[in-house]
C-alpha cells in the first residue's frame, strides 16, 4: 500500500498493534519513537528500517546506538526529537500513541506541519483540546480517533450528511471494580487494579479504567472531537464491550458500532479511512455472546469520573488540572506510595483547590499541568 506512517509510542500497546496493522497492509513506517525501551525499539528499527527514530530518555541513547550500529538511521532524543518526528512532511499519518500529556507538543508540531494524525493519546485533547482543535481546523489537518469509543462515534457519523447529533452514548466497560463500594475498594492492590476484564492495555490507562478516570478523559475527548456539550453525552456502562459507542440523531434513531474488543479494528480504520478491508481480528458472534448488559455509571464511588465532568463543565484550565493530578497520582499508586482510593481523592481536591484560568496558549496548559502535579506531590508528602 502506498502509505507512510510514523509511530510515537511504538513500543507500547497501541504502538505495537499499529505496527502489526501497518505490516499486514504493507504500510511503510518512516519513523518510530519510544521513551526508554531501547531493546524493543532496536528490534523494530532492524525490522522496519525507518529513516529516523527517537528515544525520549537521553540517558538511553548510547545503549540504543550500540544495539543498532549496523543500521543507517538518524537517532534523535527528547521532546525536540519527538516534535521533529511528528513534523516529518513526507508522512501521510502520524500515529500518536504515547501515554500522558507529553503527547501534546508533538501533536501541535504535526498540526503546524500539516500532517494528519491518528490519535490514541487522549491526554492531548483533554489538556489542550481548544488549541489542538482550533489549529487543526485552521490547517485543514484531519484527526482520526483511535480510542475505540471515539472511533465508534466517528464511524456512526459516516454518511450522516450534516444532520445534527442529539446525543452520543459513550459506553464504558465499568473496569474491574464495577458494582463495588468505596469501602470495598480501600485495600485494592496494584495487581488487582491492573487486571482489566476486557482489554489488554498499558499500565496507566488500565489504572484509569479501574478508577473510571479513563471514561472522564474520554468524555472530554468526545466533546472536543465532535463539538458536543456535556449534556449531549450519556455514559452507559456496558460490561461486554461489544457496542463501542453510539450516536442518537434528532429523530431518536440510534446508530451504534459493534465489534469484538480488539484495538486493531479502530487502529486500522484510523490508518485506512475510509477503506474497510480485512483486519487481523476475530469476527463478532452475537449468538455466542447471547446477552448485552447496560447500567448507569456510579459517580459517587468513582470520584475521578465526576471530577472530569465538573472540570470540562468549568472549562478553562481545569481539564488540564485534573489530568495532571491524575498522571501524578497514578504514578504514585503504581509505585506503591498511595492507596487506590487516594487517586480519586487527589484528583478531586486538585479540582477544588486550584484556581481556574482561561487557556490561550500551550504555556497556559503546561502551567496548569505543573501546578496540578506539585499539588499532588505536596499532598502526598503531607501524608508521609
Ligand atoms: P503503553 O504504556 O503500552 O505505551 C506507551 C508508549 O508511549 C510506549 O511506547 C512508551 O515508550 C511511550 N512513551 C511514554 N512516554 C514517552 C515519551 N516521553 N516519549 C516517547 N515515548 C513515550 O500505553 P498504551 O499503548 O496503552 O496507551 C497509549 C495511549 O493510547 C494512551 O494515551 C492511552 O490512553 C491511549 N489508549 C490506549 C488504548 C489501549 O488499548 N492500550 C485504548 C485507547 C486509548 P516505552 O515503552 O519506552 O516506555
Ligand atoms: Mg477508550
Residue whose CA is closest, atom 12 of ligand 1? Answer: 9
Residue whose CA is closest, atom 16 of ligand 1? Answer: 35
> CB neighbours of 332 closer than 8 A, spacing ≥ 6?
338, 342, 376, 380
CB 325 within 8 A of CB 376: yes
Alpha-carbon distance of 332 to 214, in angstroms, equals 17
What was the pLDDT predicted at 288?
97
Q: Which of 11, 99, 208, 268 to mutate to test the pocket of ligand 1 (most atoms within 8 A of CB)?
A: 99
pLDDT grade for 199, boundaries at 50, 70 and 90:
confident
Question: Taking 90 as the threshold, does the pLDDT of residue 137 lie above it?
Answer: yes
> Which position has the grid cell 447496560?
294
Give the up-direction half-sphere exposure of residue 10: CA atoms within 13 A in the CB hemisphere.
33
Q: Quick one: average pLDDT of 11-36? A: 98
What grid cell was written down for 47? 525490522
Listing DSSP states for 335-378 in one string gives TTSS-HHHHHHHHHHHHHHSPP----SHHHHHHHHHHHHHHHHH
- Check if 98 has its Cβ closer than 6 Å to any atom of ligand 1: yes
CA of 42 to the centre of ligand 1 (A): 17
**Which range (111-115, 244-248, 380-384) has the least confidence?**
380-384
What was the pLDDT predicted at 315?
98
pLDDT tens sequence across 247-280? 999 999 999 999 999 999 999 999 999 999 999 9
Percent of the chain with pLDDT over 90: 96
Question: Taking 90 as the threshold, does the pLDDT of residue 32 lie above it?
Answer: yes
What was the pLDDT predicted at 384?
81
**Helix (H), strand (E), coil (C) string for 236-298:** EECCCCCEEEEEEECCCCEEEEECCCCCHHHHHHHHHCCCCCCCCCCCCCHHHHCCCCCECCC
What was the pLDDT predicted at 273?
98
Over the chain, what is the mean pLDDT?
97
CA of 317 to the centre of ligand 1 (A): 23
Question: Taking 90 as the threshold, does the pLDDT of residue 42 lie above it?
Answer: yes
Alpha-carbon distance of 248 to 236, in angstroms, equals 13
What was the pLDDT predicted at 161?
85
What was the pLDDT predicted at 198?
85
> Which position has the grid cell 508533538?
106
- Check if 119 has its Cβ closer than 6 Å to any atom of ligand 1: no
Ligand nearest to the CA of 208: 1
Q: Quick one: average pLDDT of 367-374? A: 98
pLDDT tens sequence across 200-255? 899 999 999 999 999 999 999 999 999 999 999 999 999 999 999 999 999 999 99
Ligand nearest to the CA of 216: 2
Domains and CATH numbers, the chain: 4-145 (3.40.50.720), 148-174+212-297 (no CATH)
Angle at 248 between CA 286 and CA 214, to 5 degrees: 75
What was the pLDDT predicted at 326?
98
Alpha-carbon distance of 329 to 102, in angstroms, equals 16
Q: Quick one: average pLDDT of 84-89? A: 97
Q: Quick one: average pLDDT of 74-90? A: 97
Question: Taking 90 as the threshold, does the pLDDT of residue 76 lie above it?
Answer: yes
Chain centroid to CA 184: 28
What was the pLDDT predicted at 359?
97
Q: Quick one: average pLDDT of 118-138? A: 98
pLDDT grade for 70, boundaries at 50, 70 and 90:
confident
CA of 162 to the centre of ligand 1 (A): 34
Ligand nearest to the CA of 330: 1
pLDDT grade for 361, boundaries at 50, 70 and 90:
very high
Q: Which residues of 182-207 are buried (b: 16+ CB within 10 A; e: fewer)?
A: eeebeebeeeebeebebbebbbbbbb
What was the pLDDT predicted at 26?
97
Amino acid at each position: 500500500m502506498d502509505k507512510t506512517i510514523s509511530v510515537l509510542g511504538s513500543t507500547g500497546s497501541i504502538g505495537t498493534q499499529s505496527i502489526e496493522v501497518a505490516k499486514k497492509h504493507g504500510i511503510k513506517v518512516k519513523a518510530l519513537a519510544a521513551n526508554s525501551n531501547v531493546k524493543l525499539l532496536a528490534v523494530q528499527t532492524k525490522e522496519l528500517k525507518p529513516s529516523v527514530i527517537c528515544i525520549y530518555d537521553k540517558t538511553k541513547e548510547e545503549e540504543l546506538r550500540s544495539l543498532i550500529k549496523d543500521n543507517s538511521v538518524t537517532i534523535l532524543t527528547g521532546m525536540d526529537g519527538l516534535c521533529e518526528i511528528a513534523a516529518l512532511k513526507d508522512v501521510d499519518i502520524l500515529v500518536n500513541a504515547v501515554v500522558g500529556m507529553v503527547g501534546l507538543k508533538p501533536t501541535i508540531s504535526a498540526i503546524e506541519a500539516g500532517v494528519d494524525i491518528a490519535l490514541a493519546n487522549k491526554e492531548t485533547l483533554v489538556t489542550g483540546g481548544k488549541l489542538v482543535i482550533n489549529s487543526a481546523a485552521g490547517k485543514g489537518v484531519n484527526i482520526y480517533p483511535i480510542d475505540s469509543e471515539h472511533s465508534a462515534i466517528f464511524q456512526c457519523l459516516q454518511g450522516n450528511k450534516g444532520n445534527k447529533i442529539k446525543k452520543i452514548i459513550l459506553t464504558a466497560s465499568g473496569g474491574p471494580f464495577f458494582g463495588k463500594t468505596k469501602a470495598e475498594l480501600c485495600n485494592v492492590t496494584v495487581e488487582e487494579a491492573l487486571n482489566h476484564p476486557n482489554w489488554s492495555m498499558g499500565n496507566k490507562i488500565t489504572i484509569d479504567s479501574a478508577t473510571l478516570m479513563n471514561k472522564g478523559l474520554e468524555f472530554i475527548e468526545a466533546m472536543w472531537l465532535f463539538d458536543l456539550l456535556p449534556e449531549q453525552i450519556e455514559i452507559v456502562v456496558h460490561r461486554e464491550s461489544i457496542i463501542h459507542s453510539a450516536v442518537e440523531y434528532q429523530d431518536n434513531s440510534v446508530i451504534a458500532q459493534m465489534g469484538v474488543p480488539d484495538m486493531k479494528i479502530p487502529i486500522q480504520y484510523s490508518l485506512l479511512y475510509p477503506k474497510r478491508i480485512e483486519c487481523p481480528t476475530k469476527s463478532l458472534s452475537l449468538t455466542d455472546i447471547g446477552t448485552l448488559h447496560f447500567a448507569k455509571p456510579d459517580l459517587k464511588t468513582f470520584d475521578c469520573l465526576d471530577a472530569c465532568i465538573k472540570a470540562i463543565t468549568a472549562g478553562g484550565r481545569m481539564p488540564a488540572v485534573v489530568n495532571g493530578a491524575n498522571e501524578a497520582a497514578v504514578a504514585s499508586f503504581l509505585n506503591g506510595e498511595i492507596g487506590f482510593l487516594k487517586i480519586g481523592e487527589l484528583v478531586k481536591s486538585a479540582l477544588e483547590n486550584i484556581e481556574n484560568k482561561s487557556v490561550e496558549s500551550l504555556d497556559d496548559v503546561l502551567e496548569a499541568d505543573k501546578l496540578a502535579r506539585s499539588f499532588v506531590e505536596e499532598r502526598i508528602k503531607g501524608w508521609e
